[in-house]
Amino acid sequence: MTLFSRKRAGLGVLGVAVVIASLTPAGGLAAGREIYLDSRASAERRVEDLLRRMTLEEKIGQMAQIRVGKLRGDCNNVNGPLVDSCLKAVLADAHVGSILSGGGDAPLDNTPRAWAEMNNAIQRYALENNRLKIPIIYGSDGVHGHNNVISATMFPHQIGLGATWDPGLQEKIGVSASKALRATGVFWNFAPVSDIARDTRWGRYYETYSEDPFLSGQLAAANVRGQQARVDDTAQLTATAKHFAGYSAPANGHDRAAAQVPIRQLQDLVLPSFQAQFDAGVKTVMINSGSLNGVPVHASKYMLQTQLRDRMGFKGVAVSDWQDMKYLVDRHKVAPDYKTAIAMSVNAGVDMAMEPSNAAEFTSLLLANVRDGSVSRGRIDQAVRRVLKLKFDLGLFEKPYVDPAKADGNVVNADRSLARQAAAEGTVLLKNDGVLPLSSAAKKIVVTGETADDVRRQLGGWTVEWQGVPDDSPLPPTATVLTGVREAVPGASVVHAPTQAAAVAEADGADAVVVVLGEKPGAEGPADTENPVLTAEQQAWVDAVQATGKPVVVVLLTARPQVLGAAADANALVAGWLPGSEGGRAIADVLFGAVNPGGKLPISWPKALGDPTLTYDQLPGANTSAGAKYDPLYAFGHGLSYTSFTTSGTTVSVDRRDGVVKFTVANTGARAGTAVVPVYVRQPASPVLTPDARLVGFTRVELAAGQSKQVEVSFKLSQLALTVGDVDGDGRREVARGGYEAVVGAEKATFTVR
């Protein structure tokens, strides 16, 4: 028997209402005996009431998260309809509290309505087959929208959003993604990525916002606020701060490779972006799959208790990443068997295991650990208390279901104008020798390059499936650069030249040639590269077109800042990143001047292949040889405009806790535009090595031609804290007293911390 198929799926609206009514007491009838079912009681009271009613086996089940593939087909991660026996094994027998979709796990019909019906069916089975009526929570990696759903709007990946320097935009995107996910019954989103971009070889570089912890933290916190906002009548969604912590610093550049991160780097660079999200109220955190200084993070009590809980104040649910407890045995080799690995991880502070394939094994081994004293009952209660509070806080006990009839309307092509705005704001004009903007009166434009009309490359990894849109999948509705250019100049002859030879031939008589370059899509380890450089073929393509003498605009749709080689000599360079569903239209908006580019690099663009870890905040050294100093092709914060801006009159004032920097921004050009102005602090002398500049704030200022505005940017003096002490210090952080400089553009203003 199957519970879900293409023809029959879950509950109708009336059925949903009936079940919900049966779970929620009318008036106060059940409140006296079952406080946990009384929505008027506090979440804390409800948790304690429910916890005391649960058996040990039921508690342990709440600590397991299992892949949806275990509920369908042959119960072994094969796509197919939900099957009663599979559901029973996971939800009834093992009491599992959470289900997830890995990259590519979707219903047979990958439509929003089918997602909603599938999740309703899973939820219904869970509620009808556990005596305490505890709802499951369904999780998914919605890292750039509801990206597992073919018809969903794919937003730019995070590296492109980082280039917007626009927290308000990130909040709107968070709201949009959350609305789409919740409409299909997904109430746990494994996003945003909080790691910072420190090595271009790393396959997840494009999933980060920036190399800078402050910028990353501000954008991620805004995204969290958007995702967790209460904006409609479904249960709430929880975002996830991931991957705590040090995940993006593998020593050899390969995903999940061992990381060596000194305490100063950990506390001053890695953790601040997470702290911003904790302060924003993020409810869950996903733990780093890798090791840090010789200890797997998901087995580190120092990281998961001392840092995460005691120092940073996080109070929510800590979940492992994919199968990480088992990896303690067969990859990290710090545990002799799975039972021991489970005890190590749970005792360190992991509340829920993304197992994801064997519920019975995990729950039975954790039960054995409790019975033999390897894990205390108190630790189990602590973890389950957090899981239950999450479910109460989100409203899942009152609203466990969604209305499938509303799913398509909230997902299919939703908020595409917002996606277009995001892609345009994140487009960075790296170089312009006077060829941009292109004229809307152009007669002939040649569009060429491997990525000019390639949806898969433009959308990148984590789209429909883990490694990107598979070859046998329908393509998500996407405007490529070719599409965007054609729509921007409908009266021109826009020629698609799919090969280098065709591009050279068609350049004759063209007003300009747009060459769109990029990478094959990928994610995690398969996207690692030892050569983060444009391929020789792509460089030769640019060379050949340049030789025609026509104006050449290179558009880079890449997952990282690749070394450009010969492509750097093009007349204009535009970084479009992985811009999503509306990326082609957004880039055309910039190319033809409908949008004045305002994007700024959230990372440093390397000049040579030997610079994969080049960042603007590198520490000073004694070496004075060539290449020892910060000297990228394009610096952090770089980005050109079709107008010009100046800053002047910089002043700074401080009190015991805060600083305020005031200055005037003027548009000295002939076009309206948006100025992104970063504020840095320098410390001429410090007790330990300090970067030449640290970002403490920024602002976006929209100005008409000739207009000026006085603005102010505030910062907390605590942002200036450093980990002090000698090499063997105790990790203490403090704000050093003495003189500092606030830097805005070419100006600086001094202040003193007393």
Q: Which residue has the higher pLDDT, 501 or 231?
A: 501
Phi, psi of 686 (to 5 degrees): -140, 160
Mean pLDDT of 119-143: 98
What's the CATH number for 645-753? 2.60.40.10
Share of the chain above pLDDT 70, in %: 96
Quick: pLDDT tens for 238-248: 999 999 999 99
Quick: pLDDT tens for 19-77: 443 444 333 334 457 999 999 999 999 999 999 999 999 999 999 999 999 999 899 87
Going by CATH, does the domain composed of 411-591 fall within 3.40.50.2300? no
| Sign, CA torsion 437/441/445/450 | positive
Rounded Cα gap, residues 602 and 163, in angstroms: 5
Mean pLDDT score across all residues of the chain: 94
Mean pLDDT of 701-718: 98
Reading the block at residue 10, the tokens are 């879950």
Between strands 295-296 and 291-292, the pairing is: antiparallel
Phi, psi of 480 (to 5 degrees): -75, 175
Q: Minimal CA–CA distance to 92: which of 108, 113, 71, 115?
A: 71
Residue intervals in the chain for CATH 2.60.40.10: 645-753
Residue intervals in the chain for CATH 3.40.50.1700: 411-591
Catalytic site residue from 38, 49, 166, 321:
321
Q: Does the bond joining 400 to the residue before it have cis omega, within 30 degrees of 0?
A: no
Mean pLDDT of 113-129: 98
| Beta carbons within 8 Å of 203's beta carbon, 6+ residues apart | 254, 255, 522, 523, 524, 525, 526, 527, 528, 529
Give yes or no for a contact between 150 and 473, defined as CB atoms under 8 angstroms apart. Answer: yes
Phi, psi of 492 (to 5 degrees): -95, 165
Quick one: angle between helices 359-371 and 338-348, nearest 10?
Answer: 70
Report whether pLDDT(156) > 50.
Answer: yes
Secondary structure letter of residue 58 according to DSSP: H
Give yes or no for a contact between 445 and 514, defined as CB atoms under 8 angstroms apart. Answer: yes
Give yes or no for a contact between 474 and 534, defined as CB atoms under 8 angstroms apart. Answer: no
Give yes or no for a contact between 251 and 259, defined as CB atoms under 8 angstroms apart. Answer: yes
Residue-level pLDDT at 11: 36
Quick one: angle between helices 272-279 and 213-227, nearest 10?
Answer: 30
DSSP for 150-168 reads TTBPPPPPHHHHHTT--HH
User: Does the active-site annotation cover 84?
Assistant: no
pLDDT band at 612 (very low <50, low <70, confident <90, very high): confident
Rounded Cα gap, residues 326 and 634, in angstroms: 42
Report whether pLDDT(1) > 50.
Answer: no
Give yes or no for a contact between 678 and 698, defined as CB atoms under 8 angstroms apart. Answer: yes
Residue-level pLDDT at 10: 37
Q: Minimal CA–CA distance to 113: which of 385, 313, 412, 370?
A: 412
CB neighbour burial string for 416-451, b if at least 16 within 10 angstroms, e if fewer: bebbbbbbbbbbbbbbbeebbbbeeebebbbbbbbb
Cα distances (angstroms) measured from residue 408 to each of 111, 137, 411, 596:
8, 21, 5, 34
* 3-state SS, residue 95: coil
Rounded Cα gap, residues 568 and 573, in angstroms: 7
If one counts every other C-beta atom within 10 angstroms of the C-beta of residue 167, the result is 19
Rounded Cα gap, residues 579 and 424, in angstroms: 8
Q: Which residue has the higher pLDDT, 708 or 613?
A: 708
The whole-angstrom distance between residue 698's C-alpha and the CA centroid of its chain comes to 21
Quick: pLDDT tens for 254-276: 999 999 999 999 999 999 999 99
Report whether pLDDT(294) > 80.
Answer: yes
Residue-level pLDDT at 299: 98
Instruction: Classify residue 4 by burial, with Cβ atoms within 10 Å: 0-12, 13-18, 19+.
Output: buried
Element (H, E) at 98: strand 98-100
Give yes or no for a contact between 519 and 457, defined as CB atoms under 8 angstroms apart. Answer: yes
Rounded Cα gap, residues 520 and 538, in angstroms: 13
Residue-level pLDDT at 748: 96
Give yes or no for a contact between 354 and 323, defined as CB atoms under 8 angstroms apart. Answer: yes
Rounded Cα gap, residues 173 and 459, in angstroms: 16
Residue-level pLDDT at 433: 98
pLDDT band at 168 (very low <50, low <70, confident <90, very high): very high
Rounded Cα gap, residues 61 and 492, in angstroms: 63
Amino acid at 545: V
Residue-level pLDDT at 749: 98
Q: Minimal CA–CA distance to 225: which of 278, 287, 185, 163?
A: 278
Secondary structure letter of residue 399 according to DSSP: -
What is the C-alpha end-to-end distance of the chain, expressed in Å?
73
**Alpha helices by DSSP H, 443-535:** 455-459, 481-488, 500-506
Residue-level pLDDT at 15: 40
Give yes or no for a contact between 296 and 305, defined as CB atoms under 8 angstroms apart. Answer: no
Report whether pLDDT(191) > 90.
Answer: yes
Quick: pLDDT tens for 357-378: 999 999 999 999 999 999 999 9
Element (H, E) at 697: strand 694-703
Residue-level pLDDT at 730: 85
Share of the chain above pLDDT 90, in %: 91
Report whether pLDDT(518) > 70.
Answer: yes
| Of the listed ranges 16-20, 145-149, 446-450, the one predicted with least confidence | 16-20
Rounded Cα gap, residues 682 and 40, in angstroms: 52
* 3-state SS, residue 266: helix
Residue-level pLDDT at 728: 84
Mean pLDDT of 522-551: 96
DSSP for 664-678 reads EEEE-SSS-EEEEEE
Instruction: Classify residue 627 by burial, with Cβ atoms within 10 Å: 0-12, 13-18, 19+.
Output: exposed
Dihedral-angle region of residue 727 (phi above 0 means left; psi in -120 to 50 means alpha; beta otherwise): alpha
Residue-level pLDDT at 24: 43
pLDDT band at 395 (very low <50, low <70, confident <90, very high): very high
| Beta carbons within 8 Å of 340's beta carbon, 6+ residues apart | 329, 374
Q: Which residue has the higher pLDDT, 20 or 352?
A: 352
| Beta carbons within 8 Å of 17's beta carbon, 6+ residues apart | none
The whole-angstrom distance between residue 22's C-alpha and the CA centroid of its chain comes to 38
Quick: pLDDT tens for 566-580: 999 999 999 999 999
Quick one: angle between helices 213-227 and 167-183, nearest 10?
Answer: 40
Rounded Cα gap, residues 710 and 717, in angstroms: 22
Give yes or no for a contact between 428 and 600, defined as CB atoms under 8 angstroms apart. Answer: yes
Q: Does the bond joining 670 to the residue before it have cis omega, within 30 degrees of 0?
A: no
Q: Which residue has the higher pLDDT, 10 or 395?
A: 395
Q: Minimal CA–CA distance to 271: which of 296, 299, 306, 235?
A: 306
